[in-house]
Amino acid sequence: MFNYSTSLGSTVLPNPIVTASGCAGSGKELSQFFPLTELGAIVTKSIMLKPRSGRATPRMAETPSGMLNSIGLQGPGIDSFLENDIPWLQSQSARIIVSIAGESVEDYASLARRVRNIPNVVGIEVNISCPNVENRGMVFSCQPDTARAAIENVRRNIGGEVPIFAKLSPDVTDIVAIAREVVNAGADGLALINTVLGMVIDVNTMRPKLAQKTGGLSGPAIRPIAVRAIYQVRAALPKIPIIGMGGVASGKDALELVLAGASAISVGTATFGNPTAVMKIKQELESLLTERGFDNFVDAVGFAHRMESL
Partner 1 sequence: MSAINSRAVQCSAQVVSNKKVGAYHHIILSVDSIAAAARPGNFVAIAVGGASSSLVLRRAFAIYRAADKGSAGGVIELVVAPHGEGSKWLTARQVHETVDLVGPLGTSFGIPTEPVRCILVGGGYGSAPLFGLAEILKARGCRVDMVLGASSAGKIYAPLDGKRSVSSMTITTDDGSAGMHGRVSEALSQIIEENGSELIYSCGPMAMLEAIQEIADKYNLVHQASVEESMACGIGVCMTCVVPLRGSDGVIRMSRTCIDGPVMDGANVIWNSRGSIPEGTWGA
Q: At what angle do helices 277-291 and 251-260 cross, to 10 degrees?
A: 60
163 or 268, CB closer to partner 1?
A: 268
Which residues are catalytic, by number?
130
254 or 300, CB closer to partner 1?
A: 254
74 or 143, CB closer to partner 1?
A: 74
| CB of residue 184 to partner 1, shortest distance in Å | 34
> In three state form, how does the secondary structure of 101-149 look?
CCCCHHHHHHHHHHHCCCCCEEEEEEECCCCCCCCHHHCHHHCHHHHHH
| CB of residue 179 to partner 1, shortest distance in Å | 28
| Residue 198, beta-bridge partner list | 215
71 or 230, CB closer to partner 1?
A: 71
Contact in structure between 47 and 75 (CB atoms under 8 Å): yes
Q: What angle do CA 49, 51, 57 make, to 5 degrees?
A: 130
| CB of residue 272 to partner 1, shortest distance in Å | 4
* Other residues' Cβ atoms within 10 Å of the Cβ of residue 208: 18
What dihedral do alpha carbons 119, 45, 66, 283 form, nearest 10°? 20
Q: Which residues of 77-99 are buried (b: 16+ CB within 10 A; e: fewer)?
A: ebeebbeebbeebeebebbbbbb
Binding residues for partner 1, rule: CB under 8 A, are: 22-25, 28-30, 32-33, 45, 50-62, 64-67, 69, 71, 74-77, 211, 219-220, 249, 269-276
| CB of residue 177 to partner 1, shortest distance in Å | 32
Q: How far apart are CA 276 and CA 37, in angstroms?
A: 14
144 or 275, CB closer to partner 1?
A: 275
End-to-end CA distance of the chain: 28
| CB of residue 62 to partner 1, shortest distance in Å | 5
